[in-house]
Amino acid sequence: MSVIYHDQNTRRPFKLAMRFSLVALAAVSLAACKTTSLSGNPSGTMATASLGDVSIKETAEVGNRWKANKSDKTLGLQYAGRLKSLGQVGKQLQVLDELTKLHPKDTQLQVMFGKELIIAGQTARGQAVLQRVADTGKADWKTYSALGSALDQQGKHAKARSYYQAALKSRPGEISILNNMAMSHLLEGDLAQSEKLFKQIDAMPTSGSEPRVRQNLALSVGLQGRFDEAREIASRDLPPAAVEANLAYLKKMLAQPNTWQKLKPGAPQPTAG
């Protein structure tokens, strides 16, 4: 098995790793912020599981009721949640945008909108919304962590980690924040530091319920060419078929003849998806 190298001197952004891991990054970044219902007091991203089977007709009815009384935040959130469940993310974000303008002093609503923008892939816009909340001094650790994830997804890793540090001051030892910190190092190309942090998190007594941390550790190890070790780590939580599929994709990605050429400044980069 050949050794996989990366540029330790310049530490250029490890863009190829981003394609493999950004979905996991965003999921973990916002996982601790989910709410279980759509209410007038949102605390994080919009939950939709409680809606069950959402019908187009019922959604339209809720939308018409909200349009007749747009100051009703609870009704607006219900409408936005139903739109998201139906896959109408663009309309969902439009509703949330209008709600934030109608309720400009509602910090939790602003944070919700910022997180939903990040989930929808509009990271720069989501960052701007969350940054405004942070600038007011009213941000909680979840907001700082989500803001860090938005910056990481734009390649602003050092700044992202400053927000993770701010989040840790309010929530020491929080696994989701520490995971994001480790992933930030991975995305920057500092695989050794990323692996070190993931191992520290995995050794924490509270990490047993976080298999995503071990999968990220497996990714960090695999990106360094230690596939057998990555297989062993990933197998603790995933079935054999899923492990082999992930490793096959990783090997194929790293075996591309122009892998390192793509890392040069100005070169076209693969999209995360």
> Max alpha carbon distance in the chain (Å)?
65
Q: What's the CA dihedral at 256, 260, 264, 267 to 10 degrees?
A: 0
Domain 1-29+173-273 = CATH 1.10.3450: no
In the block, tokens 């990605």 appear at: 253
Q: Which residues in the chain come in under a pLDDT of 50?
A: 1-51, 259-273
Helix (H, G, I), strand (E, B) or coil at 259: coil
**DSSP readout, 43-66?**
-SSPP-GGG-S--HHHHHHHHHHH
- Residue 254's pLDDT is 85
pLDDT at position 257: 66
> Torsion-angle region of residue 87: left (phi > 0), alpha (psi -120 to 50) or beta?
left
pLDDT of residue 258: 56
Q: Which are the contacts of 116, defined by CB distance < 8 A and separation ≥ 6?
A: 45, 46, 84, 92, 93, 96, 126
**Residue 167 neighbours by CB under 8 Å, 6+ apart:** 141, 142, 144, 145, 148, 174, 177
Q: What is the DSSP letter of 55?
A: -
pLDDT of residue 144: 96
- pLDDT tens-place string over residues 247-260: 998 888 888 765 44
Tokens representing 101? 């303008």
